[in-house]
C-alpha cells in the first residue's frame, strides 16, 4: 500500500452505496488500512516497542484491529482502559498514562492493577504519586517528563512545552530517586506534540534528545517512552512523513539510552483510514459566497472548528464537474459549523454525496450531541466485507440518560 490514502483513493461507487444503505452522516473506517499503517510503522521502528494511543480512536473495532496486529494499547484515561478491556485486550497489554486523573480514574486503574500487576501507570505530577501510594499502589511506574519543547500542527497539541503535561524537566531526577523508594520505577515518558511532519522533525529531535539525555542520567530503566505525534498529510498536495527518516532520528537520539524505546502512534495509524460522508441539502448563492449545507456538522467532526484543521472535501457524486468556490457547513446555529470556506469543490447540487477525508483520528471520538444532534453511525470495511460497528443514535438516545435518572418523573 502507498504511504498515505488520499480521499481520491476511496472507491466513489462504494461510498455512494454505503451512504444509500446506511444513511448519512456516516463514518467509514477502512480496517485494512489501519492494519497496514500499523505494520508499516512497526517495520520502520523495528527497534522499538510500538503501542497504539487509544485517544486517537477508541472504537472497539479499531482497538481489536490494532491489537490483533500485535499492538499494545496506551490509554490516557480510565474510560479508555475500560474500552480496551471490553474490546478483548488483556490488562497486561495496557499502559495507563494519567493526566490530572480524577479520583475515580485512579481507583479504577489501581483496582485493575490489583488483578494485573504487569499494568504500568504513568504519572506527571508529584501529587499523583502520593495519591497512588494512598490507594496502595506500589507497582510499575513511569514518570512523565515535560521537555520544555513542543511541536505539532497547532498550539493546542504542542504538549511538550505545556506545563499541564509532565513533571518539570529539572525536577525529574530528584522525583525519580524518591519514587524508587515507593514504587517499581520502570520508565520515563514524554510526548512532544501531535501532527509532526517534515518541518517539525528538527524540533522533535531537540525535544527527544533532552528526554533521552535525562533517561541516561536517571539510569536503571526498563523503557523510555517517547510518545507518538507522527503526523499524516491532510491536504491532497502535502507529502507524507518520511517514516524511515523519522526512525533514524529516534534511533540516533536514543543511542546512549540503555533501555527499550517505546512509541505510541495514534493519528498515524488511523487518520487516513477514515472518511465522513454527508448529503447536500442546501445550495444558496449569496453576494459573498456559495453556501453548501450538508447533514453533517461540527457535532460529527469538530477539528475544523477546534483546531482550524484542514480536511479535504470531495464531491463524490459530481467529481467531474467544474470546481466552484464553496463554503460547506452543517445544520448547527453557529458560524463555527463549517468544514471549509470559499474552497473550490466540483459544483455541488442538492442530493450530492460529499466525503470529508482523513477523519479516522479525533473524528468520531470528539463527536457530541450539541444542538441535540444524534451522533452518526460507523461502518467498518475489510476487503469486500463491511459491518456496522457503531449504530446511529436516535432522538430517544438523546433523552435516555435523563429518562433513566431517578430524579426525573
Work out the average pLDDT over 123-149: 94
Residue 95 pLDDT exceeds 90: yes
Q: Give the model's pLDDT for residue 155.
A: 45
Which fold would CATH assign to domain 272-403?
Lyase, Ornithine Decarboxylase; Chain A, domain 1 (2.40.37)
Q: Give the model's pLDDT for residue 201.
A: 78
Work out the average pLDDT over 4-28: 98
Work out the average pLDDT over 57-72: 98
Work out the average pLDDT over 166-191: 95
Active site residues: 333
Q: Give the model's pLDDT for residue 162.
A: 60
Q: Give the model's pLDDT for residue 154.
A: 37
Residue 373 pLDDT exceeds 90: yes
Q: Of 85-99, 138-152, 276-290, 299-313, which gets the smallest average pLDDT?
A: 138-152
Residue 197 pLDDT exceeds 80: no
Q: Of 35-44, 160-169, 220-229, 382-391, which gets the smallest average pLDDT?
A: 160-169
Largest CA distance in the chain: 70
Class of the 31-267 domain? alpha beta
Confidence category of residue 225, pLDDT binned at 50, 70, 90: very high
Confidence category of residue 147, pLDDT binned at 50, 70, 90: confident
> Which has the closest alpha carbon to 266: 50, 53, 22, 107?
53
8 A C-beta contact, residue 115 and residue 139: no
What is the rounded average pLDDT for all residues in the chain? Answer: 93
Q: Give the model's pLDDT for residue 194.
A: 67
Work out the average pLDDT over 25-40: 98
> HSE (CB half, 13 Å, CA atoms) of 198?
8
Work out the average pLDDT over 210-221: 94
Residue 52 pLDDT exceeds 50: yes
Q: Give the model's pLDDT for residue 150.
A: 46
Residue 144 pLDDT exceeds 60: yes
Residue 94 phi, psi dihedral angles, 5° rounding: -115, 150
| pTM (two decimals) | 0.94
Q: Give the model's pLDDT for residue 408.
A: 75
Q: Give the model's pLDDT for residue 157.
A: 39
Amino acid at each position: 500500500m502507498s504511504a498515505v490514502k488520499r480521499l481520491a483513493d476511496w472507491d466513489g461507487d462504494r461510498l455512494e452505496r454505503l451512504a444509500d444503505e446506511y444513511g448519512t452522516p456516516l463514518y467509514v473506517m477502512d480496517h485494512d488500512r489501519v492494519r497496514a499503517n500499523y505494520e508499516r510503522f512497526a517495520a520502520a521502528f523495528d527497534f522499538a516497542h510500538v503501542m497504539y494511543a487509544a485517544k486517537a480512536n477508541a472504537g472497539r473495532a479499531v482497538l481489536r484491529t490494532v491489537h490483533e496486529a500485535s499492538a499494545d494499547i496506551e490509554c490516557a484515561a480510565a474510560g479508555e482502559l475500560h474500552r480496551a478491556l471490553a474490546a478483548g485486550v488483556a490488562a497486561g497489554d495496557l499502559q495507563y498514562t494519567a493526566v490530572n486523573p480524577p479520583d475515580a480514574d485512579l481507583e479504577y486503574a489501581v483496582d485493575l492493577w490489583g488483578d494485573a500487576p504487569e499494568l504500568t501507570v504513568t504519572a506527571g505530577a508529584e501529587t499523583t504519586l502520593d495519591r497512588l501510594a494512598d490507594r496502595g499502589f506500589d507497582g510499575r511506574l513511569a514518570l512523565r517528563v515535560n521537555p520544555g519543547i513542543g511541536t505539532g500542527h497547532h498550539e493546542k497539541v504542542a504538549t511538550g512545552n505545556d506545563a499541564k503535561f509532565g513533571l518539570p524537566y529539572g525536577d525529574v531526577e530528584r522525583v525519580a530517586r524518591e519514587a524508587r523508594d515507593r514504587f517499581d520505577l520502570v520508565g520515563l515518558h514524554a510526548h512532544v506534540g501531535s501532527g509532526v511532519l517534515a518541518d517539525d522533525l528538527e524540533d522533535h529531535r531537540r525535544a527527544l534528545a533532552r528526554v533521552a539525555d535525562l533517561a541516561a542520567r536517571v539510569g536503571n530503566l526498563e523503557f523510555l517512552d517517547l510518545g507518538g505525534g507522527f503526523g499524516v498529510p491532510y491536504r491532497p498536495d502535502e507529502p507524507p512523513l518520511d517514516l524511515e527518516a523519522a526512525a533514524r532520528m529516534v534511533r540516533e537520539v536514543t543511542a546512549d539510552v540503555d533501555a527499550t524505546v517505546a512509541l505510541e502512534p495514534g493519528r498515524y495509524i488511523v487518520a487516513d483510514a477514515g472518511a465522513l460522508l454527508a448529503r447536500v441539502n442546501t445550495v444558496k448563492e449569496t453576494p459573498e459566497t456559495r453556501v453548501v449545507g450538508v447533514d453533517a456538522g461540527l457535532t460529527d467532526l469538530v477539528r475544523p472548528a477546534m483546531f482550524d484543521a484542514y480536511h479535504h472535501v470531495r464531491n463524490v457524486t459530481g467529481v467531474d464537474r467544474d470546481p466552484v468556490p464553496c463554503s460547506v457547513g452543517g445544520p448547527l446555529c453557529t458560524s463555527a459549523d463549517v468544514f471549509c470556506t470559499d474552497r473550490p469543490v466540483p459544483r455541488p447540487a442538492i442530493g450530492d454525496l460529499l466525503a470529508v477525508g482523513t477523519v479516522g483520528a479525533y473524528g468520531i471520538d470528539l463527536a457530541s450531541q450539541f444542538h441535540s444532534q444524534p451522533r452518526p453511525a460507523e461502518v467498518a470495511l475489510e476487503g469486500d466485507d463491511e459491518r456496522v460497528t457503531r449504530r446511529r443514535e436516535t432522538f430517544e438516545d438523546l433523552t435516555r440518560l435523563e429518562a433513566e435518572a431517578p430524579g426525573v418523573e
